[in-house]
Amino acid sequence: MKTNYLRLMMGIVSICFFNTLTWGQKGLTIEGKIQDADSQQPIPYATVKIVNAIDSAVVGGTTTNDSGQFELQVKVPNFFLELSFIGYFKDTISEFPSENGYVDLGTIYLNKSVQELDGVNIQAEKSTVEFQLDKKVFNVGKDLSSTGASALEVLNNVPSVNVSIEGEINLRGASGAQILINGKPSVIAGEQGNALGTITADMIERIEVITNPSAKYDAEGTAGIINIVLKKEEKKGLNGSISLNTGAPHNHSLGLSLNYRTEKFNLFSQLGAGYRSMPRYSENISTDLINNTSVISDGLNYRNENFYNLNLGTDYHINDRNVLTLSGSVALELEQQPSTTNFSFQDSTGNIVSTWQRTETTEAVNPKYQYDLIYKSTFKDNKEHTLLMSAQGNFFGKDQSSEFFNRIVSGSDDNSQQRTSTNFQERKQTFSVDYIKPFKKNFKLEAGSQYVIQDVSNDYAVSDFVNGEWVQDLGLTNVFDYNQNVLGLYATGAYEGKKYGLKMGLRAENTDLLTVLKTTNEKNDVNYSNLFPSVHTSYKINKRFSLQAGYSKRIYRPRLWDLNPFFNISNTYNIRTGNPNLMPEFTDSYELSSIFIFKKMSLNVNAFQLYTTDVVERIASFENNVTTTMPENVGTKRSTGLEMNMKYTPWKKLDIQGDVNYSYFKRDGELNGTVFDFNASQWSTKWTAKVKLPHNFDLEVTGNYQSKYQTVQGNVSDMLFMDAGVRKKLKKGKAVFSLSVRDVFASRIRTVETFQGNFYNFSESYRGRFITLGFSYGFGKGEAMQYTGGRR
């Protein structure tokens, strides 16, 4: 025992002596990055002091740059670093694992000091954009545009992203982006109506926009990837926030967030309940150009919902290097869809021959649940040397019944009555393994696999009321089964130096898809394997100017509703249906970006080109005054564009952020003897001004414009609309009153025209103005946050 003790002491003395000699010769080079612990935004101009451990004297130091990064040289043997910034608690670092005289501390997080915040302008309050090797990161602050908002409204404030009034998400003007939650597919980000409404603005930490994804990511999504990263509170003790919202049209909700954190456990929960009403106005004209007759309709449709959401989870820190996370969420929506549509039939002379009114009464129960089990292990040699294993399960169900009644107002047609029933169930399970191994200080290897199992069943029936009884329509009744399994394997290698970075990767995926119409026994069984390479590079010319370039190959697999041949009979003259024989799109994506950082302004300019094969387009056909729209694979599309994002802060109380996107595309294609070749362009812009007013009032105004653009059969109109909001803080930010107005002038109107040789179709829809008034209060160490379960 004594011998071992002496050996240990001699070893320590030898190490200290060797380190003293080494220090005397060259010392250490230390790098790191300082970020806000809550928002994970960089903290510029934070102070990093070198403190002598013997007498506590400051012997050197530096400050962080605009990106929160710092580098310094240390030539004293016994020291520690002290990190500080106004409004934050100080932090000290005393362990410095070095390799060849170099120490990379990675990212260091500072926590806000609540007592010091009064009267201080904290930059982390604002949503900001930062750029990484292969993505843009939008850090979500307490923007007024997020007040009383859902994830869709937050997305609509992100540069490069636009959300239509129907909830369709476009990335740089193109649909097909894959939506992820915490880096993984989720039922919340699926296509079943308003599932993203269960994510609220206060739950979102940041949104990552990956227009040219590396091979590490699922190859799904030709337009790229949008990853919504949710918050996990880092404050120890009990923290929480309660929120109350009300609005017109009806948008009432109550939300409660609770978090309890200890050294070993982090318990987090969110509970929400409310009622929302979402009206939609629509007008449609279908004209038979051969017989010169028209069917004209206009109406008001509602989606009214009572909703209940519960999210629970825990992080268990097994030890310093192993963490186990288990989380789950359940949601229930009780849905009603009352609607009234007025129809009229116009003959070739322009006279109205008959008019009738179609009413709909729909009720649905929509249960949802999700679970996540994640294990993360950090190896002893390097904190970036990690192994991540995860399992995720999702379920979405819909039990819906609808009744439709046609009441004749004038003319000779008879009254008619129909009803439908839907039993829909979707289960999705995702299993993944990711391994990251850094080599020295600049090289990193990543490898992993993912297996996704998706099973869907949709039992759909239509019945007509004939001679006093319900008779099932066998031509419209069937059971549609959809089963898709995707296996993916990937490997990437990356080098990141002070000025130059390179990342290369390859992903292999196999897709096995089977769709079955059970009643008629129609099957579509496809199996295909593909390789998806990616290359990304960056060059930092100086602190204010950088260049990035990238290439990746992507896939867009047909979604369930693209394949499902059944349709909603709300409007029997304007039908949308799926195509079970649809094939996937493939896209080659090229991108070149430049980043300029000035004292009061940052500017990002992207040039890009996308080449897509087997493009999925919705093609309309016309017969007996009925327009049927079905997705088809129609040729190729080549898009070339330019995108600019700018943020300008002329003075402390004013921020201006702008986004301009222009693309020119060439379409080549043919379907059933019809040629769809044409060239066209489209552009969009979005500008936001944020102003700090006296007495703790804040004001934000956002203006959007989307240009008119051509489609394969017609065109889509332009849109100009504005959102605005105001907020008042009380009790040092613990309490917040807010008022937001969506579509201030009710001008967000979408018009679609289809021009063909034998028919013309016109449709117009809009939702109108939405006003939300909210109050929230934070307790413990929690901050006031806004909550709503609603999607607009």
Q: Residue 142 falls within a domain, yes or no? A: no
pLDDT value, residue 127: 52
Residues 103 and 245 both lie in one domain = no
Q: Residue 506 falls within a domain, yes or no? A: yes
Match 């008959």 to its residue by tokens. Answer: 354
Neighbours of 661 (CB within 10 A): 25
Total number of domains in the chain = 2
Burial class (CB in 10 A: 0-12, 13-18, 19+), 194: buried
Q: How confident is the model at residue 3 (pLDDT cuts 50, 70, 90)?
A: very low
pLDDT value, residue 26: 53
Residues 356 and 500 both lie in one domain = yes
Q: Residue 792 falls within a domain, yes or no? A: no
* pLDDT, mean of residues 60-85: 82
Residues 366 and 503 both lie in one domain = yes
What digits encode the pLDDT tens for the residues 179-190? 777 766 654 555
What digits encode the pLDDT tens for the residues 88-129? 778 888 888 777 778 888 888 887 764 332 322 333 344 566
Range in 80-94, 270-284, 638-652 the model is least confident about: 80-94
What digits encode the pLDDT tens for the residues 547-604? 889 999 999 988 888 888 877 788 888 888 889 889 999 999 999 988 887 878 888 8
Match 């119409």 to its residue by tokens. Answer: 517
Residues 112 and 249 both lie in one domain = no
Residue 528's alpha-carbon distances to 161, 507, 522, in angstroms, are 31, 14, 20
Residues 636 and 491 both lie in one domain = yes
Q: Residue 6 falls within a domain, yes or no? A: no
pLDDT value, residue 189: 57
d(CA 462, CA 386): 53
Residues 690 and 546 both lie in one domain = yes
Enumerate residues 6+ apart whose C-beta is below 8 A from 609.
589, 590, 591, 638, 639, 640, 641
- Among residues 65, 99, 116, which one ends one of the domains? 116
Q: Using an 8 Å Cβ cutoff, are 355 and 368 in contact?
A: no
* pLDDT, mean of residues 346-356: 93
pLDDT value, residue 706: 93
Residue 91 structural domain: 19-116
State the DSSP H helix or E strand holding residue 242, giving kind and residue range, or none if neither: strand 237-248
Across 107-126, b (16+ Cβ under 10 Å) vs e yields ebbbbbebeebeeeebbbbb
What digits encode the pLDDT tens for the residues 297-341? 999 999 999 999 888 888 888 888 898 989 888 999 999 999 999
* pLDDT, mean of residues 443-449: 95
Match 């097994």 to its residue by tokens. Answer: 318
CATH number for the domain that contains residue 600: 2.40.170.20
d(CA 619, CA 621): 7
Range in 111-120, 408-417, 480-489, 610-619 the model is least confident about: 111-120
Q: Residue 151 falls within a domain, yes or no? A: no
pLDDT at 735 > cutoff 90 = no
Q: Residue 152 falls within a domain, yes or no? A: no
* pLDDT, mean of residues 445-464: 94
Q: Residue 774 falls within a domain, yes or no? A: yes
- Among residues 99, 116, 133, which one ends one of the domains? 116
pLDDT value, residue 662: 95
Percent of the chain with pLDDT over 90: 40
Residue 634 in tokens: 């129609």
Q: Residue 267 falls within a domain, yes or no? A: yes
What phi, psi does 251 have (nearest 5°)?
-150, 85
Between 306 and 496, the more confident residue is: 306
Q: How confident is the model at residue 204 (pLDDT cuts 50, 70, 90)?
A: confident
Q: Using an 8 Å Cβ cutoff, are 93 and 53 in contact?
A: no
Q: Using an 8 Å Cβ cutoff, are 585 and 612 in contact?
A: yes
* pLDDT, mean of residues 126-133: 60
What digits encode the pLDDT tens for the residues 224-256? 788 888 776 555 567 778 889 899 999 898 988
- Among residues 86, 116, 146, which one ends one of the domains? 116
| pLDDT, mean over the chain | 82
CATH number for the domain that contains residue 57: 2.60.40.10
Strands (E), 624-710: 626-633, 636-651, 654-668, 670-671, 674-675, 678-693, 697-706, 709-710
What digits encode the pLDDT tens for the residues 38-50? 767 788 778 888 8
Residues 465 and 601 both lie in one domain = yes
Question: Is the entire prediction scored with pTM above 0.95?
Answer: no
